[in-house]
Structure 1
Amino acid sequence: MEKGPSPALTSSLQKLHLNKDESKTNNVQSNRILIGKTIFQRPFSFNEKIKCPSLVSLCLGVLGKHFEDIIEHLSVIAATLPPYTKMAMMAIARRRKLLNDDVLISLSDNSWDILDVSGSDVSDFGLAKVVKMCDSLRAVDISRCYRITALGVSELLSHCQSLETLRCGGCHRSDTAVRRCLGFLKPKLNDVAGDSWEELDSKDIANGAESLRWLLWPKIDDNSRDILASDCPRIVVNPKPSVFSVRGFKVPNEAIADLALDESFVQGIDPNTWVIPGVVRKVVTLSDSSPSELPIAEKFRLAFVQRDERLAPKRAKNVRQRQRRAEKEWMMTNAEAKSVVLAARHSKSLHGRT
């Protein structure tokens, strides 16, 4: 004879069924249910939502993990993608240390209003190409870009008239490039004839990046800071996040140093997407006091990891040397590039004679 549930359990189940709608209405927060003398743990409350990643985030995660395999065909793939997805892919490429001129140009979209190429291999060529197309940029991060020189910074400041936030510096070359471009930030006069400032029209005054309000330059030198304070008082250097306005302007999120400029585009994507394969974040060192705690195989593995990390900078240097050699060979074999170089040398020789 089959034994049914006890009367106490049946009564409790009936009460739970009767009070289910009332519990939903009152937004019951407790996640425990009492049935008889047994407490069952409910997985979530009635008013609690399960946060699942979107299908787009999952697809971006898969593409990001195999980004090396699609770089060759990236321009074809990106042609059908919306601007937000292109920015998310570029953010993943930057975090995976795969962002260069080709990737940037393939993914760029003229509707972008922010650009984050910090810590990448983007050069003057790629930056100039993109800023000519994306002329409505409001915030740009070029910090720790060792291949961007004063020429690239000047192209950025001259084409992006809506630029409000600029992040720069972070390495010696980037600091030098920005220091040489301080003149572009100063307001100056065009060639006009007049006896006083009152007779000048606004068009006679050059832009001088007049829309720039926030400059994030972590290692700014005292001389550059004094120049900006005296000649460009509208620019706030390294602003601190505050609920109050600074010089009449509220500090935007783009000007907060602790927040990555492209952080919002990778929200919802698994952080393991941009973990570089083969790179170990933390290496466990062997203790001299207890050398026999780890097996021999683990000791060999740790020694190989340490050697691999020690040789990583040399491998990166070799890659950069091969890239520069390829660019030089292209300059020598391409007729158009060769003519530009020869014309520049001829122009210099003419100026030297005069």
Structure 2
Amino acid sequence: MDFNLPPEVEQMRRAVLDFAHDVVEPRAHEIEATNRVPDDLTRAAADLGLFGLSIPEEYGGLGLDMVSKCALYEALGHAHMGFGGVISAHASIGTTGLVTLGTEEQKRRFLPRMATGETIAGFAITEPTSGSDAANIRTRAERRGDVFVLSGTKHYISNAPVAGLLTVIAVTDPTQGARGMSALLVEMDTPGVRVGRIDEKMGQRGALSAEVIFEDAEIPAANLLGPLHGGYREALKILTNGRVGIAARATGSMAHLVELGVAHARTREQFGRPIADFQAVQFMLAEMQVDVVTSRATWQYVAWLVDQGRSVGMEASAAKLHATEALSRVADKAVQIAGGMGYMKDYPVERWYRDQRLLRIYEGTSEIQKVIIARSLLQ
């Protein structure tokens, strides 16, 4: 296994890291105050190619393998987590289904605009009655001639208020349970499709999510993504690979918190000397760094397995579970090192502490990851 990046990817990784530190993070207070990502930051991200991470070069994307893509996700993890959330929801689960399952016509129709960020994408599976229990989906898509008539409600859908395209998982054969679901490419300007209430979240400001309501929306049959009645199975594959990206982004966020902790420890004085001199602080920093190193090694290995064409259901769950739980530990220690300052909204650690909490919930809770891992051991 060789995790060294090609020179051009390493150059881009450094560019994304600089962009995160020097461009996005200085705008964090603006994102927090307005609950939106400024248009110029979106354009800058598009210029870097971040919206095309998962898209092949022939459609305008970067055509990266999984190891390279996750290396950029880790660099992106140093940026405001709401900003990173917009990018990852689009470039990961919002895009990979179309790339892997789409027809040539579908790819040529949608991917070039997605690669430039002109069309933002999202993935809609969660409903009021089905989160972790995805097999309980109630949104229906009834085939009528050349269209599917789509009815139902999705909620907590990342990017929904700004998206132009959603991959929607809906029931197409209610007699078959989980085996009777299909994936549809749904354009948000379709009559009968509307965004409902925009969510007010604890953190990740700027990464908007909302309910999406389908009221007898007519979706062209040509927008069926992948096999009929194969949507649930394919959705699980999409989520599996997405979990590796979350692990990488969580690793970057940990590394950023270590940087903040080290900088604070060197400059904050107590009892006449920097708190970095105290072993209690040194031990917290050491434990934080151990979580960075182990999380990075894990996502690199699982991403490499993906590039080898291996099935990684259990390994991806392990990577996400470890990295997101580790990020919570690191964020907690970062607040502790900062003391009272770490609890104040004008200090970045407070924001990171709130923002990271969501990673243990979306794209499969920590408990669901444990179920997947245990089943793989006991089957």
Output the TM-score relative to the length of structure 2.
0.29
Output the TM-score relative to the length of structure 1.
0.31
Q: Which has the higher helix share?
A: 2
Flag the structure with larger Rg. 1
Higher relative contact order (CA 8 A, sep 6+): 2
